[in-house]
Amino acid sequence: MSLHYHDCCIRKTRCIFTPESCRQEGILGSTRVKIVVGWEGSHGKPWKRETSNAVKKKSCKYSSRKTAAAVLINDDKFRGVSKSVLKTVDVVTLGNLCVDIVLNVPELPPSSLEDRYQVMHQLVASNPDKRYWEAGGNCNFAIAAARIGLNCVTLGQVGNEKYGWFLREVLEKEGVTIIGIDENGERLSSNNDETVLCWVLVDPGRHHSFCRRRLFGGGISSQFDFNKEPAFRWISKLSAKAEGLIKQSKVLFCNGFLFDELCPAVIASILECARDAGTAIFFDPGPRNDSLLRGTLEQQQTLRRILSMSDVLLLTADEAESLTKISNPVLAAQDLLQSGLITKWVIIKLGSRGSLMVTSNGCHYTPAFKVDVADTVGCGDSFASAIVAGYINSMPVITTLALANAVGGATAMGCGAGRNVATFEK
């Protein structure tokens, strides 16, 4: 797929539309586009063409961003039920802010809970060097989104300690803002709480195992992998600032790890807030899919609710099968689409085979790009950020999938996630 430039406002910014797509979307000749330049093939010569029906350009809101996608936004589409709320934020992520500690190990931890518990205690006591730290969780999505030109804000809690300071610094440099979700003083952190840590253990075969933990005041350990209680169970309501941001955002992105942090009732209220504001909900159940299906009745009900209320679902083939009991990924995606109240896209990530999307218009498939894979951590998060870009900019389905495959593949060429996710240059 060729990438192209649009002469958008006062500077040229990268655009993921092809000329054909631009004509389909009515972008060529709009008030934001006058000149199209690009290249043919992977090593072709640049070309430049002025559109014959171009009119005078207006200033574009993306012009101040370092890496911006020149895209046409139909703002009315995202104003939602409340016409007084202007959608000024592209995407808000909810929860799952953590620091990854990436370590190479001779073998992955054993499967028994008792043995894994001992491994966890050893990891907690190890005090890993900062060179092994990386922004993780939804930070992967947020950084990837910012790098492809989306205005992204993260909602979550981090500690007032070295790991929390590290996350703030990393996200600030990427142009991503963290907003606290606690209603009591709208705090981002507490002196009594510490940032969520996730040990990413990598064996010689590049297989991964994840161990997560959070400490509470007084040094009492609470491990996500062993404790069924949400880490932020004291949060009963979003802060006014967090709620306002969800209403102002075009997309709310969340994943299954949200259930590790917030009570199901709080999650349900957040979904209602987004739905009432006309904010599109993107949900990726992720590795927590199976445990939630076997969780408490309230967890199961909330999982089903978020699946039915989501505009876009992103899953692996295994996750789709787990939810539907259907092994064929296309049929599983169709089942999820039909089960959703307002679901528009169901996307199945197929790894090295590419990805597919099922909509009301049929099934669409795009193969993966051939890349030298160094590490797959963060690929799904990067992939999801590109899907958001395609959705809010009304891109053709195949263009959206191709872009997502490209961003996910570029991340796979690096080692680890966080600051190592794909850049626009990749």
**Per-residue pLDDT of the chain in tens (426 residues, 90 and over written 9):** 333 333 333 223 334 444 443 333 333 333 232 223 333 333 333 333 333 333 333 333 333 333 333 233 334 444 334 445 689 999 999 998 988 888 778 888 777 767 777 777 777 777 778 888 888 889 999 999 999 999 999 999 888 888 899 999 999 999 999 988 875 544 555 445 678 888 878 788 777 777 766 544 333 334 445 556 788 888 888 888 999 999 999 999 999 999 988 999 999 999 999 999 999 999 999 888 888 888 899 999 999 999 999 999 999 999 999 999 999 999 999 999 999 999 999 999 998 899 999 999 999 999 988 877 766 777 888 899 999 999 999 999 999 999 999 888 877 777 667 787 766 666
For residue 134, give Cα distances in angstroms to 98, 177, 277.
9, 17, 34
Sign of CA dihedral 10, 13, 19, 22: negative
- The two beta strands, 345-349 and 355-359, are antiparallel
Domain residue limits, the chain: 4-72, 89-96+137-189+234-420
Considering only the top CATH level, what class is 89-96+137-189+234-420?
alpha beta
How many other CB atoms are there within 10 angstroms of residue 85's CB atom?
A: 17
DSSP 73-100: --GGGGS-S-TT----EEEEEES-EEEE
How many other CB atoms are there within 10 angstroms of residue 40's CB atom?
A: 10
- The two beta strands, 249-255 and 97-104, are unpaired
The owner of tokens 């040990």 is 199
The phi-psi region of residue 149 (left if phi > 0; otherwise alpha if psi is between -120 and 50; otherwise beta) is left
